[in-house]
Amino acid sequence: MPRYLLSVFTPADAGDLGPYPSQDAMSESLADTGVFTARLERDGYLVMADGLEPPSTATTVDGRGERPALTDGPYLETKEHLGGFWVVEAPDLDVALELAADGSKACRGPVEVRPFRSAESVAALLGS
């Protein structure tokens, strides 16, 4: 079954409360998100899900040179950054989009839906 990455985006300039107006709103959203994730699991869509620490905690590694070069911070300077994700298995894009809509509502952020490469698409890419 096709696998999709549902990524949640969050404003980069948000403070400790992230995109939420208050502590309560944050707790409420976390609870809703938990319910949504539990539903994905119950219905057999969930492969895995998690949230990420803010981009200030990221380290970027470039290992292409002789010695790996380390940089403090995220690779991309963006106004919005990846806050968390779900990996789901769904029969087609329509189902994935429906799940993403519910996930977006729960976590109060836009969700990007992106298919994972499949064995078939990799084979096509390699021309085998």
Partner 1 sequence: MPRARRGAPVPQRRVGRRPAGELIALADDDPGALGALTRAHHDEWARVVASLARRTGDLDVAEDSAAEAFAVAAERWPREGVPANPGGWLMTTATRKAVDRLRRESRREAKHEAAHMLRDETPHAPTGPVADDRLRLVFTCCHPALSPEARVALTLRLLGGLTVAEIARAFLVPETTTARRITRAKAKIRAAHIPFRVPTDTDVDDRLAAVLAVVYLVFNEGYLAGQGAALDRPDLADEAVRLGRLLRELLPDDGEVAGLLGLMLLTQARRPARTSATGQLVTLGEQDRSRWDRTLLAEGHALVDERVRVVAAGGPRPGRYQLQAAVAAVHTSAARAQDTDWRAVLALYDALARLDPSPVVLLNRAVAVSEAEGAAAGLAEVERLLAAHPVLDGYHALHVTRAELCCAGSVDRRTPGVRTTGRCP
Least Cβ distance, residue 43 to partner 1 (angstroms)? 17
Nearer to partner 1, 3 or 39 (CB): 3
Residues 37 and 49 sit within 8 Å (Cβ to Cβ): yes
Residues 56 and 77 sit within 8 Å (Cβ to Cβ): no
Q: Is 122 in the site for partner 1 (CB under 8 A)?
A: no
Q: Is 121 in the site for partner 1 (CB under 8 A)?
A: yes
Retrieve residue 57's tokens: 């905690």
Nearer to partner 1, 44 or 115 (CB): 115
Residue whose C-alpha is closest to residue 1's, from 100, 85, 88, 86: 88
Q: Is 26 in the site for partner 1 (CB under 8 A)?
A: no
Work out which of 2, 18, 51, 54 binds partner 1, going by CB under 8 A.
2
Residues 115 and 7 sit within 8 Å (Cβ to Cβ): no
Nearer to partner 1, 65 or 125 (CB): 125
